[in-house]
Structure 1
Amino acid sequence: MKIEVTLLSEPSRTFELDGRLGWTMTQLSIAGAKSVASIECPAPRWSAYVHKLRQRGVQIDTEMEPHHGTYPGQHARYKLACHVQIKALGAEV
């Protein structure tokens, strides 16, 4: 998956992402205000992908929430904290 991301902040910035970073950015954009929890949408390394996107200037909020079950603990919920426009192969996603 190869996408073009435009951060709609002042000043706006455009860059390309592919592979898992492109997938992660797309998932965050689709989720919108609902956000994405690593436990609901398993991926090998959500935290690493979010870290790399933050290094590129993408603002992402993280909220820790508890979970129960056989292995209780906490998981992260990620939400875009900026407005973005995403295009894939010349079409908007």
Structure 2
Amino acid sequence: MTGLSRRQQTIQVNILNDNNEPCGLPVTLVGRECWTLRKLLDAGERGVSSLDHIGPRLSHYVMKLRRAGITIETVPTLHGGDFPGVHGVYVLRSRLSVLEDNTRAAA
């Protein structure tokens, strides 16, 4: 993927309140933040983990989404294997209305 096509990936959402009304202005995300939000939207309650997406700095992108006002829960999850332990699974908790999304077209 070239730098140009990565920059072109954008998603714009409204964060919704309990009455499904927008809270403030729309949020536009590009690049890896856009990619992360798309993964969270697609995963639903299953969530997203760095074990599923090895390579990208998932926790950093989740932090940036949180700073944009999007609520994401970190669910501690046990795992086995050669190095058993606990890892975080990120689950989108904000209700969002997707206004624009060109992530599918740019893939």
Q: TM-score range by the shorter chain?
A: 0.7 to 0.9
Q: In structure 1, what is the Cα distance between the partners aligned to 2:71 and 2:39?
A: 14
Q: Look up the match of 2:87.
A: 75
Q: Look up the match of 1:5.
A: 13
TM-score, normalised by the number of residues in structure 2: 0.74
Maintained 8 Å contact 1:4/1:15: yes
- Structure with higher Rg: it is 2
TM-score, normalised by the number of residues in structure 1: 0.84
Q: In structure 1, what is the Cα distance between the partners aligned to 2:67 and 2:55?
A: 19
Q: CA RMSD in A?
A: 1.8
Q: Look up the match of 2:76.
A: 64
Please tell me whether residue 38 in structure 1 is matched to residue 50 in structure 2: yes
Maintained 8 Å contact 1:29/1:84: no
Structure 1, unaligned stretches of length 5 or more?
none
Greater strand fraction, Structure 1 or Structure 2: 1
How far the C-alpha of 1:37 sits from its partner, in A, is: 2.1
Q: In structure 2, what is the Cα distance between the partners aligned to 1:68 and 1:45?
A: 22
Percent same amino acid among aligned pairs? 37
Maintained 8 Å contact 1:64/1:77: yes
Aligned pair count? 90
Greater helix fraction, Structure 1 or Structure 2: 2
| Superposed structure 1 runs of 4+ greater than 4 Å apart | none
Please tell me whether residue 22 in structure 1 is matched to residue 34 in structure 2: yes
SS at 2:45 equivalent: helix
Structure 2, unaligned stretches of length 5 or more?
1-8
